[in-house]
A and B are shown apart, each in its own frame.
Chain A
């Protein structure tokens, strides 16, 4: 493998460099989403939480506060390739859980999405291991268990729908479509190897839509739109999630 495992990294601060560099106005969000974003997110019948998203070519940090500000604690997913490759998940007051990352990179044009995504990835933490392949016309996700035992320092990030253990999810592009997300533009079909969870995914222009039959929070229709004014928003119709973000 070309990339080497990180692990052990702590969540770097809530904000920071997103690799924007230099002066001058940021490029439009239809061409580059790099920057720091204000987030407002909510689950059904909960008061909205604030947060930030910092994204660039070599870093991604998502912080969702437990209340209206970071003073109430937060959930944070932090990834960086600056120096050594590190990925961690933290739910305060618990310490950050390091997630080992292995990557064999491959060229992939993700359009306005700045983070390098292409290639083969393996994410390992606690008892979980996710093997992910991201390609221009097909991707896959394999979830397996490394060992039995007690989770250390926390659980699966509950804001992220959990794939089912021991299953392989395959994603293939049926039709290409014009999109600001490069090769991800298209009509895609995702299915697990038991054939009982499926998603129809449409990525077109500034919009991403998932229409899923799953047993987790992805069930139903999830839609995200990125406006040219750098305001992005979306929702899941069935579970009542709503989100908006604006680049600073």
Chain B
């Protein structure tokens, strides 16, 4: 057995042990940089809410090649509906066709864009601004810390922190056996559209756009359509898709181990994290994909759990540390 790994089949006992005995996080490392964010600085930053990346590259990377082709078709359909509407010889009875095309696009992409935009913020604040959460390599002394990799909900404050930082706090992180993260990601992307999963990204796909034949069609269609829909709420998103090829790394702070896959739930599915986890589990089992569960908001019904020895940490800064 690899040092630091739990056997894949020691299922329930491993989960139970992990949930009750959280490892102590290291406080410093010679090769790691540390940014200290005080509560006061946190408030100052909150007043100048920095624009976050759109997450378009993350969304595109989360799509399978087939899904990219479908997205290109949806963009093409919407462009065609828009063009017909502008044709002086075309008498539109209503906007049904255009609306249907737009709604299809919403349904296919909106949850993923929501998750990607939230993930790429990299820093999550409570409504009052008194609690800021970010992912760091090393925790600053005196701050409340907890492992990013989680095997359960934790105590009250930990649950709150994970909720605020939901794109990572409620995510499932898997390590692919046999160094085949691409295969695991493709398994999770296959099948019918999920009502629970927003994003599936390998550790490589977190940081650079995956090239493919359908990608260029999506980029071209999005850029074209953005010019045809002035004033539409879609324009900003379409433009960000069109620019995705030249976008910089949207989550440079999220350096996950090699051969890992990050699965982010839909914002609207946090209450059903059991279904989210079980859907991942059932897709993996159906494809006989072998993984280690490094992090999960819930214990899956049937799969083994494990955690990594040197986790990245959720870093919470509070005016009133719990």
Contacts and interface: CB of A to CB of B under 8 A. Distances in A.
| Chain A residues touching B, range | 35 or more
Contact of B233 (A44, A67, A72, A241): A44
Which residue, of B111, B117, B233, B267, has the highest number of chain A Cβ atoms within 10 A?
B267
Contacts of A15: 128
Given A40-B267, A70-B128, A45 B237 contact: yes
B120 to A, nearest CB: 9
Contacts of A39: 127
Contact of A233 (B46, B236, B269): B269
B110 A229 contact: no
B163 A244 contact: yes
Contacts of B271: 225-227, 231-234, 244
A217 to B, nearest CB: 12
Contacts, number: 130
Interface in A219-248: 220, 223, 225-227, 229, 231-235, 237-244, 246, 248
A44 B106 contact: yes
A68 interface: yes
Contacts of B234: 45
Contacts of B118: 40, 42, 47-48
Given A233-B267, A244-B267, A246-B160, A63 B153 contact: no
Contact of A235 (B128, B166, B268, B273): B268
Contacts of B153: 229
A185 interface: no
A233 B272 contact: yes
Given A45-B113, A244-B267, A50 B106 contact: no
A42 B163 contact: no
Interface centre among B118, B160, B268 (most CB of A within 10 A): B268
A160 to B, nearest CB: 18
Contacts of A227: 271-273
